[in-house]
Amino acid sequence: MRFAAPVKTTPAKTEQIVLFRVSGQLFAISSASVQEVRSADSMSGAATEISAPGLRKVRHVLRRGDRSLFIVNGAMHFGLHAAEGAQLFVLRKTRTALLIDGIEKMTTMSRLQALPLSFCHEERQWYRGLTALDQTVVPVVHPEGFLSPEELALLDAALLQADKPASEDPEGTSCAP
């Protein structure tokens, strides 16, 4: 039996990536997508609690001027065993700060293979594709895949709800003493 040779990809164009772990599982993200890396502890004072119905992976929000960054628990997003995230990736051009175990290392990938079409559920939003590094396969995450537009709408509504008492109570009588 003869089969066509694998499709040749365009000449190697490398991309700098960050390998990180969530609940022990290895993932990769383009380093260009990571705006900041912070320790989770350093953010604990700045984050406020938020609760959107049916969205357990987001428990906190960071306010930065008029911008809100939703802290997504990576383990809950991927359905992994709950883990205490130690670091936060603030993702560029998104409203997501991703809680992770930690950074493994920075490296380059020379080939990103599309996620096989057999994978046909939420993972298609989660991953840009897969890459083979040192004889292992690592999923490369999509920075915009952590919060869908519907989830962002839910979170915005929850945020609005949380802000309401303060704005509707100019006297400030509802504040704790």
Partner 1 sequence: MTVSTELELQSFVLLRLGERRFAISAKEIAELVAPSRVFRFPHRTPKLEGVILRRGRIVPVCDVSEMLLGKRLTSRRFYLIVVRNYGAHKEWVAIPVTGECELINAEMTAAVESDAPHVAGWLSHDGDVIEVLNIDTLTPGPERALAGAAGRQPPEAQS
Work out whether 78 is an interface residue with partner 1 (CB under 8 A): yes
- What part of residues 119-158 is at the interface with partner 1 (CB under 8 A)? 119-123, 126, 130, 132, 135-139
Work out whether 80 is an interface residue with partner 1 (CB under 8 A): yes
- Residue 3 or 167 having the CB closest to partner 1: 3
> Considering only 42-50, 55-63, 72-80, 92-100, which stretch makes contact with partner 1 by CB under 8 A?
72-80
Please give the C-alpha separations between residue 79 and each of 64, 83, 118, 142, in angstroms, as whole numbers: 28, 11, 19, 16
Residues 6+ apart with CB under 8 A from 49: 59, 60, 61
**Residue whose entry in the numeric block shows the structure tokens 């939703």:** 70
Work out whether 10 is an interface residue with partner 1 (CB under 8 A): no
Work out whether 3 is an interface residue with partner 1 (CB under 8 A): yes
Among 45, 65, 79, 172, binds partner 1 (CB under 8 A): 79
Among 44, 118, 167, 174, binds partner 1 (CB under 8 A): 118
Number of chain positions touching partner 1 (CB under 8 A)? 25
- Residue 37 or 119 having the CB closest to partner 1: 119
Compute the distance between CA of residue 100 and CA of residue 76 in angstroms, rounded to an integer: 11
- What part of residues 17-46 is at the interface with partner 1 (CB under 8 A)? 25, 27
Binding residues for partner 1 (CB under 8 A) = 1, 3, 6, 25, 27, 78-80, 113, 116-123, 126, 130, 132, 135-139
